[in-house]
């Protein structure tokens, strides 16, 4: 498992970005986590979906697409990445992955990649697809060290990546040169400009960048750095709003900047990622923490982008220690990803909450050709991010039921979060002396308390975490509690309909299924009902429920309409 450990240096006014380093906040490793509860259920359902016929090594009806597929390597690459990540989660082995890997070389062209050779031109959809293929191969190689997989990476690097040198610097980024307001949900080549065949998924060349960076890392290929530098420089020149860039491409590019900041010792790229992440929150995200598919074009959400945004937010917290990123990650996970995952374990697209109205509605039941597969990495990363090491401290930036091994100890973690602020840790085996535990305290949390075997213990609060240093023995029970009550919140996107607000319980956005817009009483009081997991609104019959229940309900596209924004009085 690759871990982000960025060396931090002082950059004057950018000091806030480098308040900490990921070497201080690193995953304890998936091998030390047995996830359970809701996240375990979501991973299991997604894994089951990824072993159905659509993702098996079958042509046309499986993961292998026709020779004229307009995204060469994309379906294959996403499938490999998905299955490589899922089996890393410890759930089980991906039973169809060995056959997929056996058949893949035979599906490629004579020089070792998918599709035709467009040289001297570049097809950005082909490059984007191979970004996912490189990521999948790299994750698989990092986990299993199969030399045949490494050979595949090397061939793509030599025969597809290297020939693009000098071409990314002329990737068309002038807004007037790009075709606007066109493109299918799955994307299509719309035009040619010089040497570039351009996609409706504006900016998807930068998905390629992330795969190239990981390949350079896996292969130890510094000769690829000039090509990466070229792509990075071009991305930083893009006016994302003016060009109406695809938000998924943008979030993947931000992950690439973070990856390259570590690999090539370029910490200044973190500040660039921060700026563009804030732009995304301000102009490219929906009010349920999902996304506009393009900046300025709120046609639908795409869980692919939500997953990459979730990863970016968490990684920025790891780097900076700034809890605002962690709060965004919580809300993206529970409301963006939580609403996007369907009952069958796949992920689908929704209408953009706040862009045209106060309702959440299903746009596409499942985007099996992209989002379901990206969902796999998002869920596995959620498991990986759940338990973080900082020296001798086990940090819990997220709360999930799990069995965790750390510093020689075994911890059984159970929680009522996100519905209530209760996290229990039972010591099955005592950790090494000096081991501490740190629990996230979000800004919506009220009074906190930590008890050890029923007795309150002293705890220190710093940078959004409550830390307890106490001798822990086998059989001990540590309980962290914090108050959570419903609260009103302003909208976040500057393009959202004016005059509306949101209601939350902890990180959970609340709504109500209704065909017509409801108006809440001006003096309404909100009260959480722990038994029903709903918020009662005084002076009305309205009962607000968390929107992350889609996985447990077979909501139909035509009949599902849920109000999640409320007029101000």
Residue 107 has a pLDDT of 95
Nearest to 302 by CA among 219, 375, 383, 226: 375
Output the pLDDT for position 190: 83
User: pLDDT per residue over 508-532, tens digit each?
Assistant: 999 999 999 999 998 899 999 999 9
How far is residue 520 CA from its own chain's centroid?
33
* b/e 181-217 (16+ beta carbons within 10 angstroms → b): eebebebebbeeeebbbbbbbbbbbbbbbbbbbbbbb
- Mean pLDDT for the stretch of residues 176-197: 82
Please give the mean pLDDT across all residues of the chain: 94
Q: Map residue 175 onto helix, strand or coil.
A: helix
543-546/508-513 β-pairing: antiparallel
DSSP secondary structure string for all residues of 454-503 = TEE---EEETTEEEEE----TT-EEEEEE---EEEEE---TTSPTTEEEE
∠ CA(220), CA(235), CA(242), 5° rounding?
A: 165
Least reliable range by pLDDT among 12-21, 392-401, 461-470, 496-505 = 12-21
Q: What is the pLDDT of residues 279-330, one digit of tens each?
A: 999 999 999 999 999 999 999 999 999 999 999 999 999 999 999 999 999 9
4 is a domain residue: no
Looking at residue 189, its pLDDT comes to: 82
**390-443 residue pLDDT tens:** 999 999 999 999 999 999 999 999 999 999 999 999 999 999 999 999 999 999
Stated pTM of the model: 0.94
The CA-to-CA distance between both ends of the chain, in Å, stands at 51
pLDDT of residue 18 exceeding 70, the answer is: no
For 322-364, how does the pLDDT look when each residue is reduced to its tens digit (9 = 90+)? 999 999 999 999 999 999 999 999 999 999 999 999 999 999 9
Is residue 514, in this structure, part of any structural domain at all?
A: yes
534-554: per-residue pLDDT in tens? Answer: 999 999 999 999 999 999 999
Distance CA 29, CA 27 (A): 5
530 within some domain: yes
Does residue 228 fall inside a structural domain?
no
Domain assignment present for residue 505? The answer is: yes
Return the pLDDT at 91: 76
CA dist 248 to 95, 172, 224, 270, Å? Answer: 29, 18, 24, 18
Say if residue 498 is exposed, middle or buried (CB neighbours under 10 Å; 0-12, 13-18, 19+). exposed
Q: What is d(CA 410, CA 392) in angstroms, rounded to the nearest whole number?
A: 15
Note the pLDDT of residue 112.
Answer: 97
210 in a structural domain: no
- 158 phi and psi, to 5 degrees? -75, -40
- State the pairing for strand pair 393-396/436-440: parallel
Query: Domain for residue 284, yes or no?
Result: no
Number of domains in the chain: 1
Among 174-183, 204-213, 385-394, which is the least confidently predicted range? 174-183
- State the Cα–Cα distance between residues 451 and 250, nearest whole angstrom: 44
The percent of residues above 70 in pLDDT, for the chain, comes to: 95
Answer yes or no: is 464 within a domain. no
d(Cα 172, Cα 205) in Å, to the nearest integer? Answer: 10
Residue 61 has pLDDT above 50, yes or no: yes
What Å distances lie between residue 464 and 327, 358, 398, 507, CA to CA?
A: 10, 32, 12, 15
pLDDT at 412: 98
pLDDT higher than 60, residue 23: no
What confidence score (pLDDT) does residue 20 get? 38
Contact 427, 476 (CB under 8 A): yes
Supply the Cα-derived Rg of the chain in whole angstroms.
23
- Which pLDDT does position 184 carry in this prediction? 67
Give the pLDDT confidence of 120-142 residue by residue, as tens digits.
999 999 999 999 999 999 999 99
Q: Which domain holds residue 545?
A: 486-567
């Amino acid at each position: 498992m690759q871990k982000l450990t960025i060396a931090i240096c002082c950059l004057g006014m950018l000091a806030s970005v480098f308040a900490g380093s990921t070497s201080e906040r690193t995953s304890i490793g998936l091998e030390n986590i047995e996830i359970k509860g809701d996240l375990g259920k979501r991973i299991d359902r997604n894994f089951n979906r990824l072993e159905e016929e659509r993702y098996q090594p079958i042509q046309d009806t499986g993961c292998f697409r026709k020779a004229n597929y307009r995204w060469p390597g994309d379906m294959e690459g996403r499938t490999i990445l998905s299955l490589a990540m899922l089996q890393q989660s410890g759930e089980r082995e991906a039973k169809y992955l060995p056959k997929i890997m056996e058949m893949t070389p035979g599906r490629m062209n004579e020089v070792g990649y998918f599709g035709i050779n467009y040289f001297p031109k570049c097809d950005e959809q082909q490059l984007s697809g191979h970004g996912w293929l490189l990521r999948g191969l790299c994750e698989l190689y990092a986990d299993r060290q199969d030399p045949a997989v490494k050979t595949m990476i090397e061939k793509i690097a030599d025969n597809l990546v290297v020939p693009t040198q000098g071409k990314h610097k002329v990737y068309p980024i002038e807004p007037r040169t790009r075709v606007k307001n066109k493109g299918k949900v799955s994307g299509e080549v719309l035009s040619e400009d010089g040497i570039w065949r351009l996609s409706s998924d504006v900016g998807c060349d930068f998905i390629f960048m992330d795969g190239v960076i990981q390949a350079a890392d896996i292969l130890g290929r510094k000769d690829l750095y000039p090509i990466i530098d070229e792509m990075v420089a071009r991305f930083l020149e893009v006016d994302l709003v003016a060009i109406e860039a695809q938000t998924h491409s943008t979030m993947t590019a931000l992950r690439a900047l973070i990856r390259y900041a570590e690999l090539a010792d370029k910490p200044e790229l973190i500040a660039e990622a921060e700026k563009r992440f804030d732009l995304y929150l301000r102009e490219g995200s929906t009010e349920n923490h999902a996304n506009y598919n393009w900046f300025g074009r709120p046609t639908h959400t795409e869980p692919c982008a939500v997953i990459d945004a979730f990863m970016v937010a968490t990684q920025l917290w790891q780097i900076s220690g700034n809890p605002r990123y962690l709060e965004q990650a919580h809300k993206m996970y529970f409301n963006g990803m939580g609403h996007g995952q369907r009952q069958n374990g796949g992920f689908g697209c929704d209408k953009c909450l706040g862009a045209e109205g106060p309702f959440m509605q299903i746009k596409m039941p499942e985007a099996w050709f992209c989002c379901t597969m990206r969902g796999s990495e998002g869920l596995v990363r959620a498991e990986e991010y759940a338990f973080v090491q900082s020296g001798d401290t086990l940090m819990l930036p997220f709360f999930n039921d799990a069995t965790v091994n750390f510093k020689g100890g075994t911890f059984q973690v159970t929680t009522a979060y996100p519905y209530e602020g209760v996290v229990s840790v039972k010591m099955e085996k005592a950790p090494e002396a000096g081991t501490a535990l740190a629990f996230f305290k979000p800004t919506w949390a009220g009074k906190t308390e930590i008890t050890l075997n029923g007795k309150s213990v002293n705890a220190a609060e710093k940078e959004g975490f409550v830390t307890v240093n106490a001798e822990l023995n086998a059989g001990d029970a540590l309980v962290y509690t914090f108050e959570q009550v419903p609260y009103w919140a302003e909208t976040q996107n500057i393009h959202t309909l004016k005059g509306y607000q949101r209601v939350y319980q902890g990180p959970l956005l609340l709504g109500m299924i209704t065909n017509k817009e409801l108006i809440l009483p001006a003096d309404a009081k909100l009260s959480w009902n722990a038994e029903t997991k709903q918020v009662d609104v005084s002076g009305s019959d309205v009962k607000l429920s968390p929107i992350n229940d889609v996985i447990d309900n077979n909501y139909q596209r035509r009949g599902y309409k849920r109000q999640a924004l409320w007029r101000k009085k």
